[in-house]
Amino acid sequence: MNAESPTHGLRAGVVRLRRAVLWLIFGSILMIPKVNRLRRHRRAWNFGRSLAGLAGVAMIAIGAAGQHKLAMIALGALALLLALLLAPERPKRSVDARARELGALVVVDGGLYNSDAQTLRRAMLFIGSDRLWVLNSALAVLSEIPLQQLRELILEPSGADWKLRLDCGQSAAEFLYQGNFAEHMARVADETLRSRLHRELPILR
């Protein structure tokens, strides 16, 4: 019986290694949803991070003292790095939850809000029964406007964009809408504001 040639053994080893890598990738993909769900549980995730960090330190120590130094140290460093970087997922507030929190009745796209600092910020308009809130993409309040102070709504084109201006007498708020649907989004915001405000503000009828 002929002995197995080195070339044949190398090919078999490559095939086994490729299969192992494919199974590892496949298993990792299947684990992603489970890992994401686990990250929402802060205590469990932090406990797992602590174990991974301790395991990483242990592998580095074992690798420094024993055989296969580079491989063991690399795996330990990787485990320690992942434990430090992969923090638990922060809870995200939804637009609906934020609207309930503020008491807003309806939410519309605010385009780009022009603040007093002349800085354009992506904004949403939260309209309540007696006031209007301007919120950024993180759902933090940028401005709060009592409806009694609102005197006029001005919708007009601004080059290729559209601009919605809220005149509050001594101050004003401007919202710039850009892109292919700029006019549509601006008119939706304008009409929604007018439909909600015409009872409180007869001048807007």
User: How many helices and strands in the chain, by DSSP H and E?
Assistant: 5, 7
What pLDDT is stored for residue 202 in this prediction? 46
178 — phi, psi (to 5°)? -125, 165
Q: What is the mean pLDDT of the chain?
A: 80
Q: What would you report as the CA-atom Rg of the chain, rounded to the nearest whole angstrom?
A: 29
Query: Among 151, 179, 178, which Cα is nearest to 165's?
Result: 151
In this predicted model, what pLDDT tens digit does every residue of 185-204 receive, in sequence order? 999 999 988 887 765 544 44
- CATH fold of 95-204 reads PH-domain like (2.30.29)
Residue 102, both tokens: 């503020």
Length of the chain: 205
What pLDDT is stored for residue 124 in this prediction? 95
In this predicted model, what pLDDT tens digit does every residue of 15-44 receive, in sequence order? 777 777 677 676 666 666 666 666 666 777
In this predicted model, what pLDDT tens digit does every residue of 128-142 receive, in sequence order? 988 899 999 889 999
What pLDDT is stored for residue 205 in this prediction? 43
What pLDDT is stored for residue 113 in this prediction? 94
Residue 88, both tokens: 């638990």
Residue 199 per-residue DSSP state: T
